[in-house]
Structure 1
Amino acid sequence: MFEKIIDFIKQIYQNKDFIPLHAPVFKGKEKEYLNRVIDSTFVSYLGEFVEKFEEEVARFTGSKYAVATVNGTAALHTALLLANVEEDTEVITQPLTFVATCNAIAYCKAHPVFVDVSLQTLGMSAESLEHFLKNYTEIKKDGCCYNKITKRKITACVPMHTFGHPCEIDKIVELCNHYNITVVEDSAESLGSFYKGKHTGTFGKIGILSFNGNKIITTGGGGMIITNDEKIYKKAKHITTTAKVPHPYEYFHDEVGYNYRMPNLNAALGLAQMQQLPEFLQEKRKIANLYEEFFKSIENVKFVKEPPNAKSNYWLNAVLLNSKEERDKFLEETNKNNVQTRPAWQLMYHLPMYKNCFKIDTPNAEYISERLVNIPSG
């Protein structure tokens, strides 16, 4: 069975010596734009391409505003600060995610709280979130939501669109609005993914994107905050630029800020990549369709399809095997044959720094983490 799968993947990628999980593609105006930046000498965050890249991402996602940052984690940290996440408060999230989701919460000196994911979407389960909110929280006289067990205030909720598949974001936002909890969407992996016709990252108060080297488009390293709230946009731009008050020559900073703005070099790469995004999405959907059809004939291996009402970017294709033992054998055989595959991340509450965080039962996250394998998707 594994040999058949390996042969099929090699066919898709034309029998290359090594097939990576995901590699960037540069076939547009990347070199032209980078040369323009170098010739201009404006290689840092001042320069024409930063604003152009922001405008293009805002246009594509349907957001009013976009602020480019050095990476997705910086974007998420900033977004949480703008959502008023404070020290010793709690932020609801999912255990099946990349560690940056929880790290950004920890940067605010807040505590992650874990609810389960959905087997259908791989992202936060609206049903599990509702169970947590109904049974473990209360709204006090100040209008804020509190965890009845830990007594801490819950300031935000961070659902993540796992591997580019949109989660039940409309239900999650509706629930959080009822409990006065701000939704910050971790859309790091889902540029080009839509739920009910609307781009991911635009349902909550604030969304973030990532342009790391392994993402659907890359700036080398980079992230983006997207929002429809002008006040949040202005504040985001201010605090990511060291909170410097604009002045022709004086240096005055009116609060603690962060050196988080994206350099012009990275933005030039990003703009060239954005111009190719529709083509990338088309190609990735073709590959996903090939996988979906192929895995229909393979017993005991299930291909992860986009959820109902969603159009996924299929950033990382994934399969579910029958057991952890089968998953481990599959990982060993594929990697031994120069086909790069990876398991899902370790669940966040299995990591030493987050093992004592409050959690409810998460059987779906446990099930997925033991069985899921990402397969080549570039």
Structure 2
Amino acid sequence: MIYLSPPHMSGKEIEYVKKAFESNYIAPLGEFVDKFEDLIKNYTGAKAALAVCNATSGLHLALRVLGIKDSKVAVSTFTFIGSVNPILYERNKPVFIDVDEYWHMDAELLEKAVKENDIKAVILPHIYGQVADIEPILEICKKNDIYLIEDAAESLGAYYKLKMDNGEWKIKYSGTFGIFGVYSFNGNKLLTTSSGGVLVGNDENLIKKARFLSTQAKEADFMEYVHKEVGYNYRMSNILAAVGVGQMEVVEERIAKKREIFNWYREFLDEEFMPELSNTRGTRWLTTVVFKDKDPWEVMKKLRVNEIESRPLWNPMHLQPLFNGAKAYLNGRSEELFKKGLCLPSGTTLTQKQVKDICEIVKSS
């Protein structure tokens, strides 16, 4: 079976996991949690990082720390539901925003939504390993005193090149523009800890507060268990962090391979692919195609018969039964992408021949 995006170990993970076992720091914390957080900080340039059990919990902590509850939160409609569920956890109401030609939140629609609603925060997903056109969105948030939280679950390693006042270019990674960002290390991501996420930010006090809440909000000044507010069991274990340390050693290698796979698909298939903003580098976590005249569901069936996994593009959130009646600012693009698009196998062990074979099956569908 050729899977969509299976895990790919570096070879070092088992060595680090063994070391964690030998230390007997299996859970909840230990030296590898600290190392993993440091590696994420050093790689992305974020000042603070918190390893958690998954990216969804990271988004929840972000909203909780910022005190966003019983309010309205704008979020892209073209995303995984993990971007949206944390909004509900704090009794907020999502305001869905359709996407631009790069498949990310449309800044003009966001501006319209901000004018018509008292929006307290924006959750901006960077999808399929690409980077959103973040500068106009950041400007809207700054102008209206709105918190920007980046859901960079799918885009660890993707970056934006910013031109500085002195004319030089500066690389800034997805997840580091807003007050918080979150990365996913789920089993199908660019890097995996089997299950896990990392919350990052540049305000160390806010991350410190999130860390406190993620460990059941236990007051540190008491030997006995004292709790003054609601907390959560959201921390990553030392074992999973050990896997993450091994994975971080090959992050650039994995990105290079993902981009190579994308280029093979583009060579062998005469279809439309997810565009990449100029002055950015996406990771091409998943190669996504939009068919000109094929039914993606029929293509998916043909691939499945040949033991090849594929998936439809994100089913827009404003179409989900869970969000009947929710406000949505639409231009039709997310619905069109869902209707015509497909995610193709993008695992980093794929060969050029395998990609070519997959494309021949797609073309014959």
Give TM-score, length-normalised by structure 2: 0.89
Map of 2:110 onto structure 1: 129
Q: Please tell me whether the aligned partners of residues 75 and 224 of structure 1 are also in contact (alpha carbons under 8 angstroms).
A: yes
Partner SS state of residue 22, structure 1: coil
Q: Please tell me whether the aligned partners of residues 84 and 155 of structure 1 are also in contact (alpha carbons under 8 angstroms).
A: no
* TM-aligned CA deviation for residue 248 of structure 1: 7.5
Partner SS state of residue 120, structure 2: strand
What does 1:168-207 align with in structure 2 at a 5 Å threshold?
168-196=133-161, 197-207=171-181
Q: Residue type matched to 1:286 in 2?
A: E
Q: Residue type matched to 1:90 in 2?
A: K
* TM-aligned CA deviation for residue 132 of structure 1: 2.5
What does 1:182-331 align with in structure 2 at a 5 Å threshold?
182-196=147-161, 197-247=171-221, 249-295=223-269, 298=270, 301-322=271-292, 326-331=295-300
Pairing 1:94–2:94 present: no
CA distance in 2, matches of 1:313, 1:345: 18
Partner SS state of residue 256, structure 2: helix
Q: Please tell me whether the aligned partners of residues 123 and 160 of structure 1 are also in contact (alpha carbons under 8 angstroms).
A: yes
CA distance in 2, matches of 1:193, 1:343: 23
Map of 1:15 onto structure 2: none
Deviates more, 1:244-253 or 1:360-369: 244-253
Q: Please tell me whether the aligned partners of residues 10 and 249 of structure 2 are also in contact (alpha carbons under 8 angstroms).
A: no
| Deviation digits for residues 150-197 of structure 1 (CA, Å, limit 9, x no counterpart) | xxx321001110111101112111111111110000000000100122
Deviates more, 1:65-74 or 1:347-356: 347-356
Partner SS state of residue 243, structure 1: coil
Q: Please tell me whether the aligned partners of residues 94 and 115 of structure 1 are also in contact (alpha carbons under 8 angstroms).
A: yes
Partner SS state of residue 113, structure 1: strand
Q: Please tell me whether the aligned partners of residues 131 and 160 of structure 2 are also in contact (alpha carbons under 8 angstroms).
A: yes
Structure 1 regions of 5+ residues with no counterpart?
Answer: 1-17, 137-146, 148-152
CA distance in 2, matches of 1:292, 1:83: 42
| Deviation digits for residues 302-350 of structure 1 (CA, Å, limit 9, x no counterpart) | 1224222210011111000135x62222112122222211101221122
CA distance in 1, matches of 2:331, 2:197: 29
Map of 1:150 onto structure 2: none
Q: Residue type matched to 1:225 in 2?
A: L
Q: Please tell me whether the aligned partners of residues 133 and 277 of structure 2 are also in contact (alpha carbons under 8 angstroms).
A: no
Q: CA RMSD in A?
A: 1.4
Q: Residue type matched to 1:174 in 2?
A: E
CA distance in 2, matches of 1:286, 1:213: 21
* TM-aligned CA deviation for residue 133 of structure 1: 2.7
Pairing 1:353–2:322 present: yes
Pairing 1:73–2:56 present: yes
Q: Residue type matched to 2:19 in 1?
A: R
Q: Residue type matched to 2:309 in 1?
A: Q
Deviates more, 1:155-164 or 1:123-132: 123-132
* TM-aligned CA deviation for residue 247 of structure 1: 4.7
Give TM-score, length-normalised by structure 1: 0.86
Partner SS state of residue 21, structure 1: coil
Partner SS state of residue 374, structure 1: strand
Q: Residue type matched to 1:341 in 2?
A: S
* TM-aligned CA deviation for residue 127 of structure 1: 2.2
Map of 2:129 onto structure 1: 164
Structure 2 regions of 5+ residues with no counterpart?
Answer: 162-170, 348-365
Map of 2:342 onto structure 1: 373
Cα 1:94–1:277 change in 2 (3 A) is same
* TM-aligned CA deviation for residue 67 of structure 1: 0.3
The alignment covers a number of residue pairs equal to: 338
Q: Please tell me whether the aligned partners of residues 292 and 305 of structure 1 are also in contact (alpha carbons under 8 angstroms).
A: no
Partner SS state of residue 138, structure 2: helix
2:95 pairs with 95, 113, 135, which one? 113
Partner SS state of residue 190, structure 1: coil
Q: Residue type matched to 2:290 in 1?
A: L
Q: Please tell me whether the aligned partners of residues 240 and 261 of structure 1 are also in contact (alpha carbons under 8 angstroms).
A: yes
Q: Please tell me whether the aligned partners of residues 83 and 155 of structure 1 are also in contact (alpha carbons under 8 angstroms).
A: no
Deviates more, 1:285-294 or 1:202-211: 285-294
CA distance in 2, matches of 1:236, 1:45: 16
Map of 2:32 onto structure 1: 49
CA distance in 1, matches of 2:177, 2:10: 32
Partner SS state of residue 359, structure 1: strand
* TM-aligned CA deviation for residue 246 of structure 1: 2.1
CA distance in 2, matches of 1:312, 1:339: 24
